[in-house]
A and B are shown apart, each in its own frame.
Chain A
Amino acid sequence: MASSSIAFILNKKDLGFSTFSRQSVSSIPKCRRTISKKICSVTAPHQSERKPSTTGSVKTGMTMTEKILARASEKAQLSPGENVWVNIDVLMAHDVCGPGSIGIFKKEFGQKAKVWDREKIVVIPDHYLFTSDERANRNVDILRDFCVEQNIKYFYDIKDLSNFKANPDFKGVCHIALAQEGHCRPGEVLLGTDSHTCTAGAFGQFATGIGITDAGLVFGTGKLLLKVPPTLRFVMDGEMPNYLLAKDLILQIIGEISLSGATYKSMEFVGITVESLTMEERMTLCNMAIEAGAKNGVVPADSTTYKYLEDKTSVAYEPVYSDQQARFLSEYRFDVTKLEPLVAKPHSPDNRALARECKDVKIDRVYIGACTGGKTEDFIAAAKVFLASGKKVKVPTFLVPATQKVWMDVYGLQVPGSGGKTCSQIFEEAGCDTPASPTCGACMGGPRDTYARINEPMVCVSTTNRNFPGRMGHKEGQVYLASPYTAAASALTGYVTDPREFLQ
C-alpha cells in the first residue's frame, strides 16, 4: 500500500517542477508544501520499491477519491465507474448495526472465525445507550462479547449506564470519537456501519457508510468491492462571516443540488473558506454529504489537519490530493460572504430556506447535539449566542454532547470573551437543560425513553442532520435543521431566528 501512494506523491512533486501552468488552484500548492514536510522521512527509504507501472508522470489526472481508492486497491490508475476490491484501513461498527454484522460474520465465516485484523476494527456503542430497552442493552452486550472473544483493540465500552463518567473507555458518538481517538487519517479508507461515516472525509480520507452484510465481509477479509465514484467539486471562497457556520454551507449546497444531487458521487470541498475551517467544522461539512446522496465527502488535508492529528495518532499516514488535471463531473462555486444563515425546513434536508424567512415559525424546543452539531465548537458557538444576548431561553433547550471529551470541554473550557465562563455555566444561566450523557440520542428517534426524543407532534430546531418524517421520534414532529448559532438564537426567541439578531 505504501509504495503506490509514495509514487503519487513523487509524481505530484514531478508535476510541480515540470508544469508551471498548473498553479492556478490555490489550495494545491499550499497542501504540497505541507506534505513534503510531513512525508520525506517516510518516502526516502522506499524509493527503490516503486513499481514500473507507478513511475513517471501521471498520464490521466485523478481526484483525491480516485487516488485513495487506487492506492487501496493497489492500482496505478482508476477511473470513475470501475469496480475494485479495496483494502480497508479501519472498519467502525456501532451498537445498531454491529450485532447484525457480527451475526453475518459468524454465519459466513464460521463460529470460530477470527476477524481479519483486531487492530483495524473500532467498535463504538453510541446509539441506544441510556434506555431501559432490553434489546438495546443486549445489543451492547453482543458487541462486548464479540470484542472480548476477538480481542478487538479499540472497543469503547460502556457498562455503567447510570453514570457514563464511570466508564473510562466510553467515548460516545462514533464519528466524533473516531476523530478524537486518532482513527481518522489522511489518505486512508475508513468504512463504518453508519451512513454518516462520511464525516471522516474531513481528514482527507475516503470514508463511507456500508450495510451489515458488507461489514460482515470486511470483518472476515478486510476488503470490499467498491465502485469508484466521479467527483463533484465545491469551491467555497471568501472570508466566513461571523454569523455563519459550516452547517450553513452544507445546507446551502444540499439545497442547491438536492437530496439526490450527489448520489453515487464524491463531494470534494475546497477553496479559501474551506481551508480556513477548523477540523470540527470540516467534519460538519463532510457529515452531511450523505444528505445529498454522496458516497463520500472529502476535504484536502493541510496544516490544520496535521495539527489536529499531532497528539492523536502515531500511525504514519500519507495524504493525497486531486491532480490539477483531474476530471470533475462538475464544479460549483460559492461566495460565502453572500450567504445568510439557513435552515432546512421539514421534512427534507434539502428543503432550504433563510432562517429569517422562517421567523414566524413558532417552535416548541431546541436540540443541540449529534455527530453533526454536538461537537465542542458547536457548544461554544451556541454559548456565544446566549452570552451575546444575556437572555434566557424561551423553549426547552436540550444539550447532548457527542462524546465524553466534548462533555468535559463543555464543563471545562472557557468560552472566549466570556470573562472565564464555561459553556455549562452559560447554558445554566440561559436556562437550558443540563447537558446530558453523550449519545446519538434523539437525533434518530430511538427507543421511546430516549432523552429529548420527540414523542409528540412538536416543532424543533435541531443541529442534527436529518428531518425526514419521524426522524426524531414522532411522525408529525417538525424538525428545522440549523447551525448551533441559529438553534441558540431560536431558543432565545421561541421562533426560528436568524442569529444576526444577537451576534451583531
Chain B
Amino acid sequence: MAASLSCSSNPTFTRVTVSPRSSLSPTVPHFLKFLATTPSHPFRPLTAGSRSSSFSFAAPRASAAAADDDKSSSTSTSFHGICYVVGDNIDTDQIIPAEYLTLVPSKPEEYEKLGSYALIGLPDSYTTRFVEPNETKTKYSIVIGGYNFGCGSSREHAPVALGAAGVAAVVAESYARIFFRNSVATGEVYPLESEGRICEECKTGDTVTIELGESRLINHTTGKEYRLKPIGDAGPVIEAGGIFDYARKTGMIPTISA
C-alpha cells in the first residue's frame, strides 16, 4: 500500500500499469462481449476522479474497473487481462529471490525495480518469462496458482514485486498466511481463492476476467467460468490501497496533512 502510494507521485507508474492491459484488448476476440459489461477504458476515469483525493492513486492501481462509483466498489470491480499460471507451493524465493531484497519497497525507484524481478526465481521449467528482460512491467495482470501460494518468508517484497510489475490479482487455491496478510496490508494485489484447481485448467496467456462482486473468474480463451471464494472484509482494505489508507478512510486514524 505504502509502496504504491509512494509511487503515486510518479505518474508513469499508473500509466504503465494500465497500458499493457488496454493494449491487449484489440487482440482478444471476446473483448467485445466483455465491453458490454465493463467500460472500455476501465482504469482512467472511473475510480480516480470519484474517490476522495487521498485515495486517488491507490485505488486505480488495485481496482481495475469499478462500474459504479457510489457503491462499495468491491461489489463491482473487475479485472481483465491475460494470466500467468504457476503451480503449488510457489514460495517467496520464487516470487522475489533473496538477492533482490536489498531493494527497499518504500523507495519509489526501488519499488519499480522490484517489479522487474517478480517471479524471476521460478525454475527454468517455466519457459515463458513473467517479466521480459529489460522490462519493469509484466503483460500478465493476473497470476493463477495452486495451493499454498506465497509460502516461505515474511518478505513484503513478494506482493510488492507482483503489484509493482502490474499484477492486479492472484488467484490461488490457498495462500500462506503472511503473503495473504501482506497483500491486504499493502493493497498491492487481491489474493483471491479459487474453489478448485483452476491452475490446471488455465494456461499462461489465456485471457481472463475476474468479477470481484460475483466472485467469478471467466476464462475467455476456453470459455469456462469458475467460482472464487468471496474476498470478504479484506476487499475494502485492498481497494482503499492498504491498511493505513483504509484506516484513514474509515476514520480509524487521522489523515496526515501533507
Using a CB–CB cutoff of 8 Å, the interface residues on chain A facing chain B are 96-97, 99-100, 102-104, 107-110, 127-128, 133, 135-136, 138-139, 142, 193-195, 197, 209-214, 216-217, 259-260, 263-264, 293, 295, 348, 444-448, 466, 468-471, 473, 475-476
* Most chain B beta-carbon neighbours within 10 Å: one of A135, A211, A448: A211
Q: Majority SS of interface residues in chain A?
A: loop
Report Cα–Cα, A197/B155, bound state, in Å. 12
**Which of A100, A136, A214 is within 8 Å of B185, CB to CB?**
A214
8 cross-chain CB contacts under 8 A: A96-B101, A107-B6, A110-B256, A128-B101, A260-B147, A264-B177, A447-B99, A476-B123
Closest CB in chain B relative to A479 CB, distance in Å = 11
Report Cα–Cα, A295/B103, bound state, in Å. 26
Judge whether A213 and B121 touch: CB under 8 Å: no
Report Cα–Cα, A197/B178, bound state, in Å. 12
- Specify which chain B residues have a CB less than 8 angstroms from the CB of A468 in the assembled complex: 89, 91, 93-94, 152
Q: Does B190 count as interface, using CB distance less than 8 angstroms?
A: no
Give the contact-size bracket for chain B: 35 or more
Judge whether A211 and B186 touch: CB under 8 Å: yes
Judge whether A263 and B105 touch: CB under 8 Å: no
Given contacts A103-B104, A469-B123, A259 and B156 within 8 Å (CB-CB): no
Report Cα–Cα, A213/B153, bound state, in Å. 15
Report Cα–Cα, A209/B182, bound state, in Å. 11
- Specify which chain B residues have a CB less than 8 angstroms from the CB of A476 in the assembled complex: 123-124
Q: Does B31 count as interface, using CB distance less than 8 angstroms?
A: no
Using a CB–CB cutoff of 8 Å, the interface residues on chain B facing chain A are 1-2, 5-6, 89, 91, 93-94, 97-99, 101-107, 121-124, 147-148, 151-157, 174-178, 181-182, 185-186, 242-244, 256
Judge whether B152 and A195 touch: CB under 8 Å: yes
**Which of A104, A195, A216 is within 8 Å of B153, CB to CB?**
A195
Given contacts A108-B2, A128-B102, A136-B102, A444 and B154 within 8 Å (CB-CB): no
- Specify which chain B residues have a CB less than 8 angstroms from the CB of A133 in the assembled complex: 102
Judge whether B121 and A263 touch: CB under 8 Å: no
**Which of B5, B104, B152, B243 is within 8 Å of A99, CB to CB?**
B104
Closest CB in chain B relative to A426 CB, distance in Å = 31
Report Cα–Cα, A210/B153, bound state, in Å. 9
**Which of A135, A138, A213, A473 is within 8 Å of B2, CB to CB?**
A213
- Specify which chain B residues have a CB less than 8 angstroms from the CB of A216 in the assembled complex: 2, 244
Judge whether A263 and B176 touch: CB under 8 Å: yes
- Specify which chain A residues have a CB less than 8 angstroms from the CB of B185 in the assembled complex: 211, 213-214
- Specify which chain B residues have a CB less than 8 angstroms from the CB of A444 in the assembled complex: 93, 98, 153
Closest CB in chain A relative to B229 CB, distance in Å = 14
**Which of B105, B147, B174 is within 8 Å of A100, CB to CB?**
B105
* Most chain A beta-carbon neighbours within 10 Å: one of B2, B89, B186: B2
- Specify which chain A residues have a CB less than 8 angstroms from the CB of B244 in the assembled complex: 104, 108, 213, 216-217
- Specify which chain A residues have a CB less than 8 angstroms from the CB of B93 in the assembled complex: 444-445, 466, 468-471
Judge whether B91 and A103 touch: CB under 8 Å: no
Given contacts A211-B178, A264-B177, A475 and B105 within 8 Å (CB-CB): no
Judge whether A210 and B106 touch: CB under 8 Å: no
- Specify which chain A residues have a CB less than 8 angstroms from the CB of B243 in the assembled complex: 213-214, 217
Report Cα–Cα, A138/B107, bound state, in Å. 13
Report Cα–Cα, A103/B151, bound state, in Å. 25
Tell me the nearest residue of chain B to A263, going by C-beta. Answer: B177
Judge whether B123 and A475 touch: CB under 8 Å: yes
- Specify which chain B residues have a CB less than 8 angstroms from the CB of A471 in the assembled complex: 91, 93, 98
Judge whether B155 and A448 touch: CB under 8 Å: no
Judge whether B181 and A446 touch: CB under 8 Å: no
Judge whether B104 and A260 touch: CB under 8 Å: no
